[in-house]
Amino acid sequence: MARHRGRGMAAINYPIGMNLGGDPSQALVHSNPSGKFTVALSSIDLGQGMKSVTRQICAETLGVPVEDVYVDTADSDTGPHCMGSFASRGTHRVGNAVMAAAKEARGVMMEAAAEELEVNASDLETDGRGNIHVKGAPHRSISVKDVAIAAQFRQGKTISGRGIFLVPLSDVDPETGEMSPATCYAHACLVAEVEVDDETGEVGVIRMDSAYELGRALNPRLVEQQLVGGAWMGMSHALYETTEPYYPDPKQGPRDFVEYLMPGPGDICPHDIAVLERPAPDGPFGGKGPGEMCANPVLPAIANAIFNAVGVRIDELPITPEKVLRAIKAQGGARPQTRR
């Protein structure tokens, strides 16, 4: 009786957004008279960071500091329409809508600044710190705050913008399945190392190494949060979770977190991640979205690592100790494969 180590890998891609019914989201951006901006959305922040990433996109597009932008979301009386937070669509679809709204608002802001400085708007640029100045002449400058006051009280301009991003409905050919399901794809490859106990059938995940390509990482810390959490979810899906342990027999369903197994803190393993950024041509600053796909490569990588460790293929999820042990017994013991 022994514990056997093995390594397995998997590679995947993932479509960004949904392909049926059309996929729109809207955003509104406006400034108050102090030059502070509000983004109004109806999109949902599930904890993934929707508010934060759209805030950065808005600040970058306006050319103002991120602290001067606040994202207000999910009030149907004030936020314009959004399909919802699913299908890895938030960063790409909502981000693009916010970018379009911020561009329009920036246009008004620059016109108002031009009027105050008595120059052409095309000769102006933002410094990203809350000021607008003449290109090549930083001393001919006005603060965004002063522009906002002037626009509101002297010029009668609204520094505001509307944005929508729509991926139109794609027809699906009934005979061939020809369709345009997505406009861009994220990619990943993950290596999992496991240890399999041939006496109990238990599988422990020792470490993971991965590379994810997500378009531009608009906020690397939010990306890290998604990838680390998503890999944990994938590991849980691979080895622990099910509401029907003997599917398709519906009996024995768990009712709470005592009966529904998930890995605890002691089961989490080190995970080294590399992020590659191949910008999506139609993404906001090239962003795609790490939302859903980060869990996907973990499942097959673990299954393949188990084969490498003990020579059994478990093709039914979750890969419980019972299934591993039965398979090891059926082949007359562990058969470790070539170490990788």
Partner 1 sequence: MLELRKDIFADERDDNLNEVGKGTQRQDMLGHVTGTSTYFNDHKLQGMLHVRVVRSTQSHARLRRIDTSEAERSEGVRRVIRGADVPRNLNTLLSLINFGKDDEPTLAVDKVRYRGEPIVAVVAETLRAAAEAAAKVRVDYESLPSVFDVEEALKPGAPTVNETYPKNTFTYHERYDHQKLRFGDVERGFAGADHVLEQRYQMSPIEHAPVETNGSIAAPDTNGRYVVYTSTQALFFSLDTCAKILDLPSNTFHFIGGTVGGGFGGKVDTLTEPLAILAAMLTGRPVRYVLGREEEMQFGPPRGAERIYIKDGVMRDGRIVARQIRGYFDSGAYTRLSSYAVVKCAAHLPGPYTIPNVHGDIYCVFTNRTPATAMRGFGITGMDFALECQMDKLAHLIGMDPMEFRILNAYRDGDMKAHRREAKNTALIECVQVAAEKAKWPIREEFRRMSSRKDGGGARAAVPSTPREPAQPRSAPAQQRTSYDRGLSMPPQPDPPPQAPAPSPGHGATRFSSVFGTRRR
Question: How many residues are present in the chain?
Answer: 340
Coil/strand/helix, residue 71? strand
* Residue 242 within binding range of partner 1, rule CB under 8 A: yes
Q: Is 133 in the site for partner 1 (CB under 8 A)?
A: no
As given in the structure block, the two tokens for residue 21 are: 């019914």
The yes or no reply on residue 42 touching partner 1 (CB under 8 A) is yes
User: How far, in Å, CA of 184 to CA of 134, rounded?
Assistant: 38
List the Cα angle 131/135/140 in 5-degree steps.
Answer: 55
Residue 109: CA count within 13 A, CB half-sphere: 35
Least distance from partner 1 to the Cβ atom of residue 154, Å: 28
Q: Which two tokens stand for residue 58?
A: 């808005």
CB of 146 to partner 1, least distance (A): 20
Tell the residue number behind the tokens 């979301």, with chain if given: 73
- Pick from 135, 154, 221, 339 the residue near partner 1 by CB under 8 A: 221
- Sheet containing strand 37-41, strands side by side: 69-73, 37-41, 23-31, 160-167
Q: Is 45 in the site for partner 1 (CB under 8 A)?
A: yes
Picking from 50, 69, 51, the residue whose alpha carbon sits closest to that of residue 59 is 69
Q: Which is nearer to partner 1, 154 or 313 (CB)?
A: 313
Question: Among 31, 56, 152, 160, which residue sits at the site for partner 1 (rule: CB under 8 A)?
Answer: 56
Q: Does 168 bind partner 1 (CB under 8 A)?
A: no
Among the candidate windows 28-36, 106-114, 198-206, 243-251, which touches partner 1 by CB under 8 A?
A: 243-251
19 is written with which tokens? 């392909």
Window 273 to 312, contacts with partner 1 (CB under 8 A): 273-281, 285-286, 291-293, 295-297, 299-301, 303-304, 307
Give the span between the Cα atoms of 100 and 92, in whole angstroms.
12
CB 30 within 8 A of CB 68: no
Tokens encoding 203: 């599988």
Q: Is 322 in the site for partner 1 (CB under 8 A)?
A: no
Residue closer to partner 1 (CB basis): 128 or 333 = 128
* Among the listed residues 85, 96, 131, 152, the single contact to partner 1 using CB under 8 A: 85
CA distance 89 to 14: 11
Give the contacts of 108 (CB within 8 A, at least 6 positions apart).
Answer: 151, 157, 158, 159, 160, 161
154 lines the binding site for partner 1 (CB under 8 A):
no
Q: Does 97 bind partner 1 (CB under 8 A)?
A: no
Q: Does 6 bind partner 1 (CB under 8 A)?
A: no
Residue 138 binds to partner 1 (criterion: CB under 8 A): no
In whole angstroms, how close is the CB of 148 to partner 1 at the nearest point?
19
264 counts as binding partner 1 under rule CB under 8 A:
no
- Whole-number minimum distance, CB 3 to partner 1, in Å? 20
The verdict on 105 binding partner 1 (CB under 8 A) reads no
